[in-house]
């Protein structure tokens, strides 16, 4: 089975209980609260932009006391009809796991879990480009988690050590566009990781520091449409040169929690860059 859905389908969670209630990455400060109304407007606009690009949005019900549940990218990694559930490193987010599990199960996924002592933060740290799963580790996910995920799914994994605390999840510094093209922010990787990326992905589009810090790499890709936070003009120009259609939408209320467009979504039919989508074996 290639996947449970045959058109672009994305899981999002409305920001009813979103807020900055704890600090688990350098972006978050309880002294810098988010504005509930602005967050709601930004989230709804993102949803509309994704729908205009052809996506169907499924909703995860928001829960009081779980402000980061909005970041559905961290729920699981999806492969065909299998969802490997996250095991969050921080206690503050561990309460999300049963809700993610219940939703994915009711949608028809076979939900698999990793052993209890292994941290793994889903599609935030594990992204397919071609037939390979690129996997970020150290700050959130354990390197061991990716080995286990690779064995469970029978796919090749390339582990990438994340070296910059502001880019604590792989999806904040790396974004596959197609099976052979990706966007990345080089300074978030060590030399080994850079060599691995450069030798396995033929076309890499580099993002500079100021746009990386505006979450340029945290993009949602639907066909040729690439959706990011606003304020990433150089990446957008490079994308237009390569015949993509970049779209910007303001997401600064979510940047306060260390997240942006991609973090707010989980692609349920598989990312466009994943080769497994196009094969039935």
Tokens of 253: 């209320």
In the window 129-188, what residues touch ligand ARG (CB under 6 A)? 169, 171-172
From the list 14, 16, 24, 206, which residue makes contact with ligand ARG (rule: CB under 6 A)? 24
Using rule CB under 6 A, residue 257 touches ligand ARG:
yes
Question: Is 263 in the active site?
Answer: yes
Site size for ligand ARG (CB under 6 A): 16
From the list 222, 258, 273, 276, which residue makes contact with ligand ARG (rule: CB under 6 A)? 258
Concatenated DSSP letters for 149-199? HHHHHT-EEEEEEB--GGG-SGGGTEEEEETTEEEE-GGGB-HHHHHHHHH
Using rule CB under 6 A, residue 9 touches ligand ARG:
no
From the list 259, 265, 269, 271, which residue makes contact with ligand ARG (rule: CB under 6 A)? 259
Cβ-contact 263, 25 below 8 angstroms: no
User: Which stretches of 26-160 are DSSP H helices?
Assistant: 36-52, 91-94, 97-106, 143-153
Indicate the DSSP class of residue 127: E
From the list 3, 34, 42, 74, which residue makes contact with ligand ARG (rule: CB under 6 A)? 74
Distance of closest approach, residue 202 Cβ to ligand ARG, in angstroms: 26
Question: Is 169 in the active site?
Answer: yes
* Cβ neighbours of residue 110 closer than 8 Å, sequence gap 6 or more: 81, 82, 83
Interface residues with ligand ARG (CB under 6 A) are: 24-25, 28, 68, 71, 73-74, 93, 124, 169, 171-172, 257-259, 263
Question: Which residues are designated catalytic?
Answer: 169, 263
């Amino acid at each position: 089975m290639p996947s449970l859905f045959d058109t672009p389908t994305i899981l999002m969670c409305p920001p009813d209980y979103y807020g900055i209630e704890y600090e688990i990455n350098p972006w978050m400060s309880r002294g810098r609260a988010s504005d509930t109304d602005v967050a709601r407007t930004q989230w709804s606009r993102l949803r509309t932009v994704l729908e205009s690009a052809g996506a169907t949005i499924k909703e995860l019900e928001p829960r009081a006391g779980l402000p980061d549940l909005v970041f559905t990218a961290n729920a699981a990694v999806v492969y065909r009809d299998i969802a490997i559930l996250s095991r969050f490193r921080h206690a503050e987010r561990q309460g999300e796991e049963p809700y993610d599990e219940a939703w994915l199960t009711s949608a028809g996924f076979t939900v698999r879990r990793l052993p209890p002592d292994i941290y793994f933060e889903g599609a935030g740290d594990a992204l397919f480009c071609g037939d390979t799963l690129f996997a970020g580790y150290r700050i959130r996910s354990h390197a061991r988690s990716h080995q286990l995920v690779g064995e469970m799914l029978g796919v090749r994994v390339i582990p990438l050590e994340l070296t910059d605390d502001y880019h604590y999840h792989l999806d904040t510094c790396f974004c596959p566009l197609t099976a052979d093209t990706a966007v990345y922010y080089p300074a978030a990787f060590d030399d080994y990781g850079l060599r691995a990326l450069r030798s396995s992905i033929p076309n890499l589009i580099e993002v500079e520091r100021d746009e990386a810090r505006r979450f340029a790499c945290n993009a949602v890709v639907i066909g040729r449409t690439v959706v990011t936070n606003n304020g990433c003009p150089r990446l957008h120009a490079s994308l237009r040169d390569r015949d993509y259609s970049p779209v910007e939408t303001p997401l600064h209320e979510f940047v306060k929690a260390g997240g942006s467009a991609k973090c707010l979504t989980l692609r349920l039919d598989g990312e466009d860059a994943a080769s497994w989508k196009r094969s039935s074996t």
